[in-house]
Amino acid sequence: MLSKSTLTYVQFLCFVTRTIAAFDMSSNQNLAVYWGQNSYGAVNPDNTAEWQQPISYYCDDTIIDTFPIAFLDEFYSTDNLPSIDLANTCNTGDNSLFPGTNLLNCSFLASGIETCQAAGKIVTISLGGATGSNGFANDTEAAAYAQTIWDLFLGGSSSTRPFGSAILDGIDMDIEGGSQTGFVSFLSALRTLMDGGSKPYYITAAPQCPYPDAYIGTTLNEFGFDAVYVQFYNNYCGLTNYDNPNAWDFATWDNWAHTVSPNPNVKVYIGAPASSSAAGSGYVSPSTFTPIIQETMAEYSSFGGVMLWDASQAYANDRYDISVKDALLGGTSSPPPTTTTITTTATPTTTTTTSPITTTTSTSTISSPSPTTTSGTISCAGVAAWQSGVAYVGGDEVTYDGDLWTAKWWSESDVPGGASGDWANSGVCT
């Protein structure tokens, strides 16, 4: 009998030999997986073998289609240039800054990014994150910032390009706080630059599942995004409430896609944690997630695929991404385009990194309150237990000492019910 690890590797080889096709945003089988924050390493600091690997490591097969790099976490830092943080891969402790700026020089990642792109994947830069400092004073400032992003990451030119010669394929807006002032002007100006570029570029967003999203909802209604990676976790409308019609709201997002979004072809993804330690709540097993994916795919024409947080968690969790891709390929979909088949027998590298983690970030906050419970009992089904060392953000739910607790704001290692007051008691678990 084959071991679990052997079976996973066999699956890996099967996917490697599949057809490599150019990225297709109109597909309903796409898998987007965030890379950059070493989420697994943040929770498991001693198991360095499973820490985040260089981005090219995750491009050796055809499972993942899109890599949003997380994060550009500050719009305006030293010299009015942004700052980025890529945890154990590129950080201020191990890597240099461009002189006179707070912008990391991660140009050593250029070849890896280009390897992924050559394999038919797209790589974007995600702006924001749970602890990001972002926003604009006015529309004029916002429109000018589009040129900055274009020059640093996309088709422009600059002496301070964080990823060197690599030309990313677009941006992702993971905005989890602050004002929306200027966002439409910024994105419209950036789209104009993209339209004049030499290749396709994409603009996505990662709203919370409560509709409308508090931090980017207005922007979603006024600018035509290519896709939205809706975070169906850390909220009452998460995956664990799929069978509750009063909570699960993919239908609402589908209606938004068809009747509100300026882009009638916008795709809506199911955003999910790639393991139980990747989020405060919302993780479901592959056997539970598969029918959710396939039923949603069959019912809603706006469905574009699945987003996972994040690559390190997926790989450490028995290649959770493979089970998700299997579900996507087994659903109702149109035949893939005819392409040239490229076969390879490349073996994934086992190189590990041992650099310290500099940021613990989760792509999840809450944008509208969950139903409150002030007394009595409440179901805690599917809610993970509180863990020391995990970064939680406002709205995250955990169980602790027999009760359900809801985070009021960002915290880490503060015990529910402790003196910090970071958690609200939502009731006794049944």
Question: At which residue do the structure tokens 């990014």 appear?
Answer: 113
- Cβ atoms of 416 and 425 within 8 Å: the answer is yes
For the chain, how big is the Rg over CA atoms in Å? 21
Best CA proximity match to 12, nearest among 326, 306, 310, 285:
326
> Which three-class secondary structure state does DSSP give residue 183?
helix
For residue 278, give the amino acid letter: A
3 state DSSP class of 321? helix
Residue 86: beta bridge partners? 90
**Residues 6+ away with beta carbon under 8 Å from 46:** none
DSSP character at residue 389: T
DSSP 58: G
Non-local CB neighbours of 203 within 8 Å, separated by 6+ positions? 170, 171, 172, 173, 187, 190, 191, 194, 223, 225, 226
Structure tokens at 345: 């027998």
Q: Is 398 helix (H, G, I), strand (E, B) or coil?
A: strand
Catalytically active residues are 176
Contact between 309 and 277 under an 8 Å Cβ cutoff? The reply is: no
